[in-house]
């Protein structure tokens, strides 16, 4: 029995080993299944349950070894979507995986870099995202490997951040830069994804859009923490460094703040993120780092993730739930109490039931399944409630964290204020101490300056003494010989002094001996004088000793004088040696100077010979240059002659007769020619001064030849439309201009006559052409051309002002008519005034459209010229605009006056009708003037034409309302001739015929008067006579319009039918080539 009971334990041990291997195999299979389903080539987001299983696998094996062993086999280089999902899963593993996953991922840093480089070089939309995402992952891994205190999910407290930054301001500065780089990579990925979504048809509700948007959830979580880190670090930097040093940090933070705020606002509006994540709101403006108290206003952005269960798909039904708790090694006492039944069960499971008994395991399995289903439902319910509790607790935690953050901020603000006060107090103390030190330093500096001044005075005195001693030594050096002789004499005197002293000593001794002998004889007699004599002897001895000392002193002085003599002798010998060396050096210098002088003489001769050769070469080159310059001048003169000869030949060309030109253009060409003549004269003078440079003359000749030819051709073309007298004179002057120009060019062509070449005759002829062109100008051109541009703007502004004034007066008349009239008269007046107001509004729109078109014409045609130059160059068109604008303004004013008279019953309805016709004609004139230079496809020209049609309609409405009102107000007499006799009727008939004849005669006279007025108008406007006849309805006379005349061949353009200044009667026909 014991042996039988031991069998199940051995079986159990083997089964545990088998279970561990199966469990490991099951785990590997689950991980491979999850990785293959999470990272695939389908354009759909990564499912959370697959990513969650991968993350749980990292926690189970405490690392990401299994994940990377399968991930390295993925074909990342074949599909960009596969690489994108791979980066997304790696990001999730880094953030939510086990802490050892960072080291495992860092081992495969090169794989991520290679994947990003591969797809960054390819033009693929997902490839660009993969390149940016790879850079983000590399930056993230490098940052967290460098700062291990901060976890990859960035959920670090402020204390951890402070500890990581440390107290060294350089480390804080570097950490801030690294956080900025981290944030830049995150924002770059977000901006690229958002930009691709904006440029494609994918939206957040489609799988293609969600595939791109799904990684941004981790980006939002990272950015919220990085933003908080940036604010904390920048406030810490500003507390330690000056504001100017951190200007670049502030600018970079402001850019990141605005980009992050824009990204958060866009993501918050997307449906995809609303069910996944709660995105915080950033403030409207970035924090003010220059103000330390702004730190208290900063609130840490908190991101809340919503826990949503994804619906299970059909292809995931075979996924087994992963065991989160290792239950194989757990043993409890109750289970030990049941070890015996378990052993029997295990034995039964291994060898079957004993004795062939009934196996009720199926019933137990069914009951256990039912219990499991009930427990699973209960577990789901408990999970739901727990999830709700967790959500509520998270919200409470967020609110408490916000309150804690606020308290922390207030504490930080108080600490900052205390620190500021302490720093200010220390600064005040330092300033006081510095002030005292400065005072002490100032007093010491004063003392030092006084001592320095005293030393300077002493040095100055010492310098003067040294100068005096130097002069004394020089004097001693000069008197050396005299001193030697004086020294010899002094020695002789010393010898004589010694002899005298010896003689004196001998004499004193003799005297002493004599006195001693006398004392011997007179001892007794001199005893009383003995003391005196002894004293005297003592005094004599002292004098003798003093004399001996004096002799010794004289001996020592003599010795010193001898030493001085020897020193002076040595100095004299040294000076003589120096003098000899100086003489030798001077001799050497003289010899070297002699050699240098000889060498310089030779080099000077060689240089002079070279200079002569160079001078001769320069003369040859100068002569060659003069010949080349003169050759260029001859070639230019020949070309200019050909140009002018070609222009002169066109004077007699029959094909040129059909060409016409305007006096304005002729005048402009003549003025340009006069300017070129001045330049040519200046270039001629410069060439005569320096014949080596003919550039100015060549340029002037080229310009003159073209302008002179242009003047001749346009003069001939202008003569084709001028009167006979003017045409003959103009043609003759053009021919004379060509002749004089050719003569001038002929003089320039020869060296003998180039000095006497003069362009005065050409100037005279061109001035004559200029005067003739000015005479042929229309008489209405009394305004200077440089004032035309200002006149156009002034007239347009005046026209607009006149129209606005007309509208205002019409409104006033409307109000007055309502007060003064009623009934039919009020109705007629209102109808007329309303139609006049509509007409004025239409005219105002027309003027605005014309102004816009005019600006478009000027900007499109003026080129590099100014606006005034463009108006001056196109003076006829400009004057047409001015005339048309004046006519419109005058017509508006006249209409208002006529309407006022009609309302007051002091005027005639016909005046209002005529004013309407006149306004329609004036606006048509303005439209025609604007259309002359407008582009046919211009939108503004179409607007102007529509405004013109509206003006015509409004003018017709005015005429219709006027006529209707006139018919309503006029009382028609009923013609009742029933009571008249035959004679009476005959008499009335004759009177009516007389009135009809009178009115017809009056009508004919008025028509003639109208024709004369129009002729005068045309004469002032400068329109030819034949066009006057056509516009007056008269046939042109044969005298003025001969079919055979070459001046009238070809059809005139339609715009020349209007006798107004806005037209250009001298334009060539459109169907003729100019």
Cβ atoms of residues 292 and 298 within 8 Å: no
Contact assessment for residue 253 and residue 230, using Cβ atoms and an 8 Å cutoff: yes
Encode pLDDT of 452-510 as tens digits.
778 777 777 877 777 777 777 777 767 776 766 777 777 777 777 777 777 777 777 77
387-437 pLDDT per residue, tens: 887 888 887 888 888 888 888 788 878 888 878 888 888 888 888 888 788
Average pLDDT over residues 4-30: 62
What is the per-residue pLDDT for 1057?
32
d(CA 217, CA 186) in angstroms, rounded, equals 11
In angstroms, rounded to a whole number, what is the distance separating the alpha carbons of residues 500 and 498? Answer: 5
Distance CA 31, CA 68 (A): 11
Evaluate if residue 180 carries a pLDDT over 70: yes
pLDDT > 50? residue 1062: no
Chain length of the chain: 1074
- Secondary structure, 3-state, 691-746: CCCCHHHHHHHHHHHHHHHHHHHHHHHHHCCCCHHHHHHHHHHHHHHHHHHHHHHH
Confidence class for position 1037, pLDDT limits 50, 70, 90: very low
Residues paired with residue 304 on neighbouring β-strands, in sequence order: 278
Torsion of CA 809, 812, 814, 817, to 10 degrees: -120
User: Which of 600-604, 942-946, 962-966, 1060-1064 comes out lowest in average pLDDT?
Assistant: 1060-1064
Q: How far apart are CA 243 and CA 260, in angstroms?
A: 24
> What's the half-sphere exposure (Cβ side, CA atoms, 13 Å) at 249?
27
Report residue 350 as tokens: 């291994």
796 within 8 A of 847, measured Cβ to Cβ: yes
* pLDDT per position as a tens digit, 993-1008: 888 888 888 888 888 8
What contacts 161, CB < 8 A, 6 or more positions away? 150, 229, 232, 233
**CB crowding 1024-1060: b at 16 or more within 10 Å, else e:** bebbbbbbbeeebeeeebeeeeebbeeebbebbebbb
**pLDDT value, residue 523:** 66
Tokens of 562: 């001898």
Residue 933 CB neighbours (<10 A): 16
Residue 490: its pLDDT value, please? 72
Q: What is the pLDDT of residue 386?
A: 82
Query: How much is the average pLDDT of 1050-1054?
Result: 32
For residue 226, report the phi and psi dihedrals to the nearest 5 degrees.
Answer: -65, -35
CA distance linking residue 754 with residue 449, whole number of Å: 83
Q: Which long-range contacts (CB under 8 A, 24 or more apart) does 854-857 make?
A: 854/792, 854/796, 854/881, 854/930, 856/934, 856/935, 856/938, 856/940, 857/930, 857/933, 857/934
Which whole number is the average pLDDT over 947-961? 83
Mean pLDDT of 447-455: 78
Helix then strand then coil, in percent of the chain rounded to 5, is 80, 0, 20
Helix (H, G, I), strand (E, B) or coil at 579: helix
Within 13 Å and on the Cβ side, how many CA atoms surround 738?
25
């Amino acid at each position: 029995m014991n042996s039988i009971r031991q069998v199940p334990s051995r079986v159990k041990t083997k089964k545990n080993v088998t279970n561990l291997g199966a469990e490991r195999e099951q785990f590997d299979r689950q991980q491979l299944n999850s990785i293959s389903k999470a990272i695939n080539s389908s354009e759909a987001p990564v499912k959370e349950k697959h990513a969650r299983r991968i993350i749980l696998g990292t926690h189970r094996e405490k690392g990401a070894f299994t994940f990377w062993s399968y991930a390295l086999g993925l074909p990342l280089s074949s599909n960009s979507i596969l690489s994108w999902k791979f980066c997304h899963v790696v990001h999730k593993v880094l953030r939510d995986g086990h802490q050892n996953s960072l080291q495992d991922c860092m081992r495969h840093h090169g794989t991520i870099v290679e994947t990003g480089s591969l797809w960054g070089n390819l033009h693929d939309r997902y490839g660009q995202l993969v390149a940016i995402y790879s850079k983000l992952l590399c930056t993230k891994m490098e940052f967290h490997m460098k700062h291990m205190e901060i976890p990859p999910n960035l959920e670090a407290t402020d204390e951890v951040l402070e500890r990581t930054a440390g107290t060294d301001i350089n480390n804080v500065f570097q950490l801030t830069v690294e956080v900025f780089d981290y944030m830049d990579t995150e924002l770059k990925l977000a901006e690229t994804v958002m930009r691709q979504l904006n440029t494609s048809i994918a939206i957040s509700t489609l799988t293609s859009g969600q595939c791109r948007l799904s990684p941004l959830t981790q980006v939002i979580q990272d950015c919220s923490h990085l933003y908080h880190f940036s604010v904390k670090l920048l406030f810490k930097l500003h507390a330690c460094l000056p504001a100017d040093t951190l200007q670049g940090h502030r600018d970079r933070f402001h850019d990141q703040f605005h980009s992050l705020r824009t990204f958060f606002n866009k993501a918050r509006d997307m449906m995809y993120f609303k069910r996944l994540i709660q995105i915080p709101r950033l403030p409207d403006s970035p924090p003010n780092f220059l103000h330390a108290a702004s730190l208290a206003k900063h609130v840490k952005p908190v991101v809340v993730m919503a826990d949503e269960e994804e619906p299970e798909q059909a292809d995931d039904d075979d996924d087994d739930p992963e065991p989160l708790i290792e239950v194989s090694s757990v043993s409890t006492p109750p289970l030990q109490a049941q070890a015996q039944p378990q052993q029997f069960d295990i034995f039964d499971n291994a060898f079957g039931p004993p004795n062939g008994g009934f196996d009720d395991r199926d019933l137990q399995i069914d009951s256990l399944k039912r219990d499991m289903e009930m427990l699973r439902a209960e577990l789901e319910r408990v999970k739901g409630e727990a999830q709700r509790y967790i959500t509520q607790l998270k919200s409470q935690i967020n609110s408490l964290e916000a309150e804690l953050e606020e308290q922390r901020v207030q504490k930080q603000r108080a600490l900052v204020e205390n620190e500021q006060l302490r720093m200010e107090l220390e600064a005040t103390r330092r300033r006081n101490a510095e002030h005292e030190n400065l005072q002490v330093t100032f007093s010491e500096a004063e003392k030092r300056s006084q001592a320095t001044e005293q030393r300077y005075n002493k040095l100055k005195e010492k310098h003067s003494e040294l100068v005096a001693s130097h002069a004394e030594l020089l004097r001693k050096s000069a008197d050396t010989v005299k001193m030697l002789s004086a020294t010899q004499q002094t020695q002789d005197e010393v010898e004589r002094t010694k002899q005298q002293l010896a003689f004196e000593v001998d004499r004193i001794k003799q005297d002493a001996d004599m006195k001693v002998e006398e004392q011997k004889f007179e001892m007794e007699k001199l005893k009383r004088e003995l003391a005196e004599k002894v004293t005297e002897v003592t005094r004599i001895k002292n004098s003798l000793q003093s004399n001996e000392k004096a002799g010794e002193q004289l001996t020592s002085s003599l010795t010193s004088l001898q030493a001085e003599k020897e020193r002076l002798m040595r100095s004299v010998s040294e000076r003589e040696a120096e003098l000899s060396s100086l003489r030798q050096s001077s001799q050497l210098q003289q010899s070297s100077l002699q050699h240098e002088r000889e060498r310089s003489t030779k080099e000077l001769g060689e240089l002079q010979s070279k200079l002569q050769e160079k001078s001769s070469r320069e003369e040859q080159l100068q002569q060659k240059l003069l010949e080349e310059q003169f050759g260029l001048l001859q070639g230019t003169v020949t070309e200019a002659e050909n140009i002018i000869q070609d222009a002169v030949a066109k004077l007699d060309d029959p094909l040129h007769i059909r060409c016409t030109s305007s006096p304005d253009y002729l005048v402009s060409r003549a003025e340009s020619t006069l300017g070129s003549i001045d330049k040519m004269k200046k270039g001629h003078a410069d060439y005569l001064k320096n014949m080596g440079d003919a550039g100015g003359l060549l340029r002037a000749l080229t310009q003159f030849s073209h302008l002179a030819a242009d003047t001749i051709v346009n003069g001939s073309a202008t003569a084709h439309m001028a009167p006979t007298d003017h045409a003959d004179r103009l043609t003759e002057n053009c021919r004379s201009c060509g002749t004089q120009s050719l003569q001038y060019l002929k003089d320039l062509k020869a060296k003998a006559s180039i000095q006497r070449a003069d362009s005065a005759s050409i100037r005279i002829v061109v001035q004559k052409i200029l005067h003739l062109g000015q005479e042929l100008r229309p008489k209405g051109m009394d305004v200077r051309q440089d004032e035309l541009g200002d006149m156009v703007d002034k007239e347009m502004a005046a026209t607009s002002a006149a129209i606005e004034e007309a509208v205002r007066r019409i409104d006033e008349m409307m109000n007055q008519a309502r007060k003064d009239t009623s009934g039919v008269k009020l109705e007629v007046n209102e109808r007329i005034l309303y139609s006049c107001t509509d007409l004025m509004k239409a005219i105002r729109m027309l003027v605005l459209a014309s102004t816009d078109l005019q600006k478009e014409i000027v900007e499109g045609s003026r080129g590099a010229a100014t606006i005034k130059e463009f108006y001056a160059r196109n003076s006829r068109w400009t004057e047409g605009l001015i005339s048309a604008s004046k006519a419109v303004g005058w017509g508006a004013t006249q209409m208002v006056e006529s309407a006022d008279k009609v309302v007051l019953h002091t005027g005639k309805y016909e005046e209002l009708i005529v004013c309407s016709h006149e306004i329609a004609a004036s606006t048509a004139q303005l439209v025609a003037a604007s259309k002359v230079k407008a582009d046919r496809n211009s939108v503004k020209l179409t607007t102007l034409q529509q405004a013109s049609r509206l003006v015509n309609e409004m003018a017709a409405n005015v005429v219709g309302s006027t006529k209707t009102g006139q018919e309503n107000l006029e009382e028609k007499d009923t013609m009742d001739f029933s009571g008249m006799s035959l004679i009476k009727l005959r008499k009335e008939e004759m009177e009516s015929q007389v009135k009809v004849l009178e009115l017809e005669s009056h009508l004919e006279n008025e028509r003639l008067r109208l024709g004369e007025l129009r002729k005068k108008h045309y004469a002032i406007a400068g329109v030819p006579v034949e066009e006057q006849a056509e516009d007056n309805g008269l046939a042109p006379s044969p005298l003025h319009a001969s079919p055979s005349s070459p001046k009238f061949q070809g059809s005139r353009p339609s715009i020349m039918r209007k006798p107004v200044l806005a037209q250009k009667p001298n334009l060539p026909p459109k169907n003729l080539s100019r």
